[in-house]
């Protein structure tokens, strides 16, 4: 099964649908994103679509509602969880400006202090 994300005019994901692989085959029986997009547009005329993948083998992350498609990076990027977090350009995922301690304890992010706080 293939998955396609519908994008609004600002490249924000509105929905993700599942499409049978047969609907994505070109005339040579090869899977084609453009054929899948055409199929999605036949169901929802006048819409914009990009293929997404659960295993992250395309566009870095599986698209979710509210995610942004970045055409420069060719990536789906989740909404920024905190103002201080930065985008990892290698993974296209957000990360804290300081790494979480790796001492076996549980932590939560505290945005006002921009630090990890132990959960007790």
Cα 61 from Cα 31, distance rounded (Å): 20
pLDDT digits (tens, 9 = 90+) for 62-119: 999 999 999 999 999 999 999 999 999 999 999 999 999 999 999 999 999 999 999 9
Question: For residue 56, is pLDDT > 90?
Answer: no
**DSSP code per residue over 31-70:** B-HHHHHHHHHHHSTT-EEEEE-TT-SSSSS---TT-EEE
The predicted model scores a pTM of: 0.91
Measured in Å, how far apart are the chain's first and last C-alpha atoms?
43
Q: What is the pLDDT of residue 10?
A: 98
Torsion (CA) 85, 89, 99, 104 in degrees, nearest 10: 120
């Amino acid at each position: 099964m293939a998955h396609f994300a519908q994008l609004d005019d600002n490249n924000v994901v509105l929905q993700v649908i599942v499409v049978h692989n047969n609907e994505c085959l070109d005339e040579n029986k090869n899977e084609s994103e453009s054929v899948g997009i055409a199929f999605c547009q036949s169901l929802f005329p006048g819409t914009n679509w990009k293929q997404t993948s659960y295993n992250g083998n395309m566009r870095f992350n599986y698209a979710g509602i509210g995610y942004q498609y970045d055409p420069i990076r060719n990536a789906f990027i989740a909404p920024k969880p905190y103002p201080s977090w930065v985008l990892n350009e290698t993974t296209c995922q957000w990360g804290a400006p300081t790494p979480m301690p790796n001492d076996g304890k549980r932590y939560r992010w505290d945005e006002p202090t921009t630090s990890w706080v132990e959960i007790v």
